[in-house]
Amino acid sequence: MRATIAEVISMSDPTTAAELPALRLKRNEDRRLHAGHLWIFSNEVDTQQTPLTKFKAGDLVRVLAHNDRALGLAYVNPQSLISARLLETWKLPDAAWLAVRFRAALSIRERLYAKPYYRLVYGESDGLPGLVIDRYGSACVAQIGTAGMEKLKPQILQALEQVLRCSALLFKNDSSAREMEGLTSYVEAAKGKFNESSAVIEDGLEFQAPLAEGQKTGWFFDQAANRRALSKYVRKGARVLDVFSYVGAWGVRAAQAGASQVLCVDSSAAALELAASNAERNGFKLETVKGEAFDVLEDLAKKRARFEVVVIDPPAFAKRKKDLPKALAAYKRLNQLAMQVTADDGILVSCSCSYHVSPEDLQEAIAKAARGADKHVQILEAGGQSPDHPVHPAIPETRYLKAYFCRVGDSLK
């Protein structure tokens, strides 16, 4: 139950929380928040009573329903479509508050993972909107995506020191989300050095990942469960194609499962070098091809190359809702090309990390691709993000990753 203003004051220091400026919502615009969502969109704010222009990006506010009922504390950004994000607390955020949240997040990860390689903090799902922290042993990489969290950066550093005492901390604040928040992009080592690649351990395999220069925070922990699931589909002696391979996580996993030939495709020469060295580090070998995925797949199809397992794990094709039509066309084309190089009775792993592409959208793209490639396709298994990326039940935006494990056969016509 949401508290009244009087209750807020009684639970908080009246010289702090009670004096925060109010952000008032329009009538009935609090229903989604009562259901548990944490976002407030600009068109939900009663700008006649509380103009957004009166706030600075990152300011803390008291959120009020149209009838003055207090809904919680939030930080605001008048420049963003998401004008405020609730913090699920009446306490003003400081290092001690962050440390409590970090310990709660750490508790569930330590139950799930034997070694400290995982996403420690996943934004809204861990009650910390706008903050992501990945853990690489004794090192951490943080990504701040909102102005409110940017203001808390010193406290984030202090809280992490209290909870983890990490030997190194990198702020990799270069995501596209920052642009929408009006924030500059930068990469900064707050503690320790990140001149070289760092170790990642996944199910006994050891990798090196470029934390400072790599994609996202340097590694994709969200696909770990799907990579684990891949193993049962790789027969001994199989030929495997890993498209958008980055540093070879899927490919090395396939080699461990018994593949005799693994071909990794990526547009980055540096990533492919790491993919090859990651394979050698684990006692395997793989081949690499530098090029754009669509071009390489077309070339392989022309050469009638066939693979028993094909993995396509592209970057987000639809970062915004308006990108969806083009994205769906791209997913259809990509899957069709992948099916053309998948051997009869082979396995295609088709992934999407675009939130705006629903599981049904991706499934439809696969169906259209199957018709275009004249293939009979069966979806054997559906996967999502690993449990260190927990889904907030009231925030569908926290569920974004889809992976379909498909059997691809010749047409039954």
197 within domain boundaries: no
Q: Which of 325, 353, 82, 109 is nearest to 215 (CA)?
A: 353
Bridge-based pairing state of the strands 139-144 and 131-136: antiparallel
pLDDT, residue 17, reads 76
Q: Same domain, yes or no, for 138 and 179?
A: yes
**118 and 74 belong to one structural domain:** no
Q: Residue 303, SS3? A: coil
- Report the CATH number at residue 335: 3.40.50.150
Catalytic residue among 166, 264, 351, 353: 353
Asked whether residue 129 is domain-assigned, the answer is: yes
Residue 372, number of CB atoms within 10 A of its CB: 15
Nearest to 247 by CA among 228, 224, 220: 220
227 and 296 both lie in a single domain: yes
Q: What is the pLDDT along the chain (413 residues), one digit of tens a residue?
A: 344 433 433 344 444 677 899 999 999 999 999 999 999 999 999 999 999 999 999 999 999 999 999 999 999 999 999 999 999 888 899 999 999 999 999 999 999 999 999 999 999 999 999 999 999 999 999 999 999 999 999 999 999 999 999 999 999 999 988 998 999 999 999 999 998 899 999 999 999 999 999 999 999 999 999 999 999 999 999 999 999 999 999 999 999 999 999 999 999 999 999 999 999 999 999 999 999 999 999 999 999 999 999 999 999 998 888 999 999 999 999 999 999 999 999 999 999 999 999 999 999 999 999 999 999 999 999 999 999 999 999 999 999 999 999 999 988 76
Q: Are 245 and 143 in contact (CB under 8 A)?
A: no
Report the C-alpha dihedral over residues 363, 369, 373, 376, rounded to 10 degrees: 10
Closest CA to 337 of 367, 307, 300, 364: 300
The runs of H, that is alpha helices, within 269-323 are 269-281, 293-302
Q: How many domains does the chain have?
A: 3
pLDDT of residue 334: 98
Q: Distance from CA of residue 214 to its chain's centroid? A: 14
**pLDDT for 11:** 40
Domain extent at residue 120:
95-191
Q: At what angle do helices 324-340 and 359-373 cross, to 10 degrees?
A: 50
* 360 in any annotated domain: yes
The domain spanning residue 112 has which CATH number?
3.30.750.80
- Quick check: 190 and 169 in contact, CB under 8 A? yes
Has residue 391 been placed in a domain? yes
211: left (phi over 0), alpha (psi -120 to 50) or beta: alpha
SS3 86: strand
State the Cα–Cα distance between residues 135 and 120, nearest whole angstrom: 6
Query: CB 200: neighbour CB atoms within 10 A?
Result: 24
Verify that 244 and 383 share a domain, yes or no: yes
The answer on 29 and 135 residing in a single domain is no
Same structural domain, 107 and 239: no
39 three-state secondary structure: strand
State yes or no: is 351 an active-site residue: no
Q: Which residues are registered as beta bridge partners of 311?
A: 242, 349
Is 209 inside any structural domain?
no
Q: Are residues 103 and 82 in the same domain?
A: no
The residue among 56, 86, 116 that closes a domain is 86
| pTM of the complete model | 0.92
Would you say residue 205 lies in a domain? no
In a domain? residue 17: yes
User: Does 364 lie in the same domain as 312?
Assistant: yes
Q: Are residues 28 and 80 in the same domain?
A: yes
> Are residues 246 and 349 both part of a single domain?
yes
Tell me the sheet residues that pair with 208: 199
Same domain, 309 and 354: yes
pLDDT at 399: 97
Alpha-carbon distance 30 to 65, whole Å? 6
Which among 145, 174, 191 is the end of a domain? 191
**CATH code of residue 51:** 2.30.130.10
Query: Are 174 and 135 in the same domain?
Result: yes
Per-residue tokens: 259? 């593949």
Whether 213 maps to a domain, the answer reads no
